[in-house]
């Protein structure tokens, strides 16, 4: 029997974190599936640390990252590089994840070769073309090219149905980020980093990450100014801020928050220490997508530094609040949670609307079922 050829294609840190459980699950079916991994390496160091953690060795690495790359650079380099790989491997189906430019280029390259596309984390929408930018269009364009949609939640499935995608092409699986998180967070974890080991986690520790394109410039500067005011005003507040590798983000962070007492600016943390750090801090401020999904599962309140979110589930559950990037909003919302224990308690109930830790199993089961390699259709994830 010919094996089913499945190729995963990804390129950035969050795609790697969320695709790793899928690859590990695919590899369990080596009697039926031939798995190959192609990375664009749209990210380099931030990707490599995830590959190392989950012991994934890509079969193909396009190594496309360049300093200050534009959307045109990423799209064209990924598309041309993937053309050759797809020609050589001729997979039956490729899997892309989420909404990065690698995701869209991967789906487009597969379409040009008339290869089926499976989309992991399908159906997230804000309905706003430019927020997040370019992710909203990356995922919509990918959806148009997709044959099998792996929607993490029922809300995501409804978004796809509304766009005319037929029910039988959609599997509700939960988000693989929760699979990755459960494999990574441990109560007895010790940080190898001296700074993180030395922090007193009984204090009011705020964890911050930022990177979104629509926040570059003034919006991020406002956020950092608000953080500065908070540490200046509250002597028991400490900030840990692993700064994204993007120089456009780093420059503003250093200008506004460099050399301040009780503000620890670090390089991006590897996923294992980062996930374990999330589980220990008091409060998280972020514009990240993935962090909005992980923190609620750990019972950590999240203030989202964006005007829109494609992840309404934890907002509805009360663990996540959308606050935007205005100085006063950031300052007031963070201050409230730092000083009002009733408000804090309301937002720190652990909720798990995004997954139950077996999303990857459902995805692989759905592929096997679709290609008639198993009789078992996976039961949908119910949040």
Residues that are catalytic: 99, 121, 135, 211, 213, 244
378 lies in the site for ligand UD1, by CB under 6 A:
no
Write each residue from 159 to 198 as x if it is in contact with ligand UDP (CB under 6 A), else as -, in one continuous string: ------------------x---------------------
* Cα–Cα distance list, 166 to 92, 144, 156, 160, 199 (Å): 21, 12, 13, 8, 51
Q: Which stretch in 10-18, 27-35, 245-253, 328-336 sits in contact with ligand UDP by CB under 6 A?
A: 10-18
Closest CA to 369 of 93, 156, 180, 144: 93
Q: Kindly list the strands in the beta sheet with 170-172, ordered across the sheet, starting from the edge strand earlier in the chain.
A: 60-61, 33-39, 4-10, 93-97, 116-120, 148-151, 170-172
Identify the residue among 21, 81, 134, 296 touching ligand UD1 (CB under 6 A).
134
Q: Which of 106, 123, 242, 378 binds ligand UDP (CB under 6 A)?
A: 242
290 binds ligand UDP, rule: CB under 6 A = yes
Q: Are 293 and 178 in contact (CB under 8 A)?
A: yes
Helix H or strand E segment including 285: strand 283-286
Q: Which of residues 126 and 365 has its CB atom nearest to ligand UDP in the complex?
A: 126
Could you say which of 183, 229, 245, 321 contacts ligand UD1 (CB under 6 A)?
A: 245
Q: What are phi and psi of 34, to 5 degrees?
A: -100, 110
Closer residue to ligand UD1 (CB): 51 or 185: 51
Beta carbons of 348 and 361 less than 8 angstroms apart = no
Choose between 71 and 144: whose C-beta lies nearer to ligand UD1: 71
Q: Could you tell me which stretch among 37-45, 55-63, 199-207, 220-228 binds ligand UD1 (CB under 6 A)? A: 37-45
Q: How many CA atoms lie within 13 A of 381 on its CB side?
A: 33
Residue with tokens 């491997």: 89
**Among 42, 153, 175, 209, contact with ligand UDP (rule: CB under 6 A):** 209
The Cα 368–Cα 190 span in angstroms is 39
CA 92/CA 122 separation, integer angstroms: 19
Which has the closest alpha carbon to 142: 188, 96, 201, 91? 96
How many residues bind ligand UDP (CB under 6 A)? The answer is: 17
CB of 29 to ligand UDP, least distance (A): 25
291 is an interface residue for ligand UDP by CB under 6 A = yes
Contact footprint for ligand UD1 (CB under 6 A): 12-14, 42-46, 65, 67-69, 71, 74, 99-101, 134-135, 211, 245-247
């Amino acid at each position: 029997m010919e094996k089913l050829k499945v190729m995963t294609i990804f390129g950035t840190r969050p795609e790697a974190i969320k695709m790793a459980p899928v690859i590990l699950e695919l590899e369990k079916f080596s009697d039926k599936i031939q798995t190959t991994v192609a990375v664009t390496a749209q990210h380099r160091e931030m990707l490599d640390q995830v590959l190392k953690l989950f012991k994934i060795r890509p079969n193909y690495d396009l190594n496309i990252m360049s300093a200050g790359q534009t959307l045109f650079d990423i799209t064209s380099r990924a598309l041309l590089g993937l053309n050759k790989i797809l020609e050589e491997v001729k997979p039956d189906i490729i899997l892309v994840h989420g909404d990065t430019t690698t995701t869209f280029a991967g789906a487009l390259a597969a379409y040009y070769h008339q290869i089926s596309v499976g989309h992991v984390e399908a159906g997230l929408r804000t309905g706003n073309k430019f927020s997040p930018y370019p992710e909203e269009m990356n995922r919509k364009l990918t959806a148009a090219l997709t044959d099998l949609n792996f929607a993490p939640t029922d809300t995501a499935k409804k978004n796809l149905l509304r766009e005319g995608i037929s029910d039988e092409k959609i599997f509700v699986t939960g988000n693989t980020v929760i699979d990755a998180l459960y494999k990574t967070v441990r109560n007895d974890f010790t940080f190898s980093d001296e700074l993180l080991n030395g922090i007193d986690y009984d204090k009011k520790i705020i964890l911050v990450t930022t990177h979104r394109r629509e926040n570059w410039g003034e919006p991020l500067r406002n956020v950092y100014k608000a953080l500065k005011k908070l540490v200046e005003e509250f002597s028991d507040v400490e900030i840990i801020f692993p700064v994204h590798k993007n120089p456009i983000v780093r420059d503003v962070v250093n200008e506004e928050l460099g050399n301040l007492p009780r503000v620890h600016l670090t390089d991006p943390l590897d996923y294992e220490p980062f996930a374990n750090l999330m589980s220990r801090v008091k409060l998280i401020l972020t514009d990240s997508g993935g962090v909005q999904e992980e923190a609620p599962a750990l019972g950590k309140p999240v203030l989202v530094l964006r005007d829109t979110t494609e992840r309404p589930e934890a907002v509805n559950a009360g663990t996540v609040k959308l606050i935007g990037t205005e100085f006063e909003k950031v300052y007031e919302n963070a201050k409230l949670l730092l000083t009002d224990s009733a408000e804090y308690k309301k937002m720190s109930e652990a909720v798990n609307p995004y997954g139950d830790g077996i999303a990857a199993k459902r995805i692989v089961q759905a592929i096997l079922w679709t290609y008639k390699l198993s009789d078992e259709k996976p039961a949908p994830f119910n949040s």
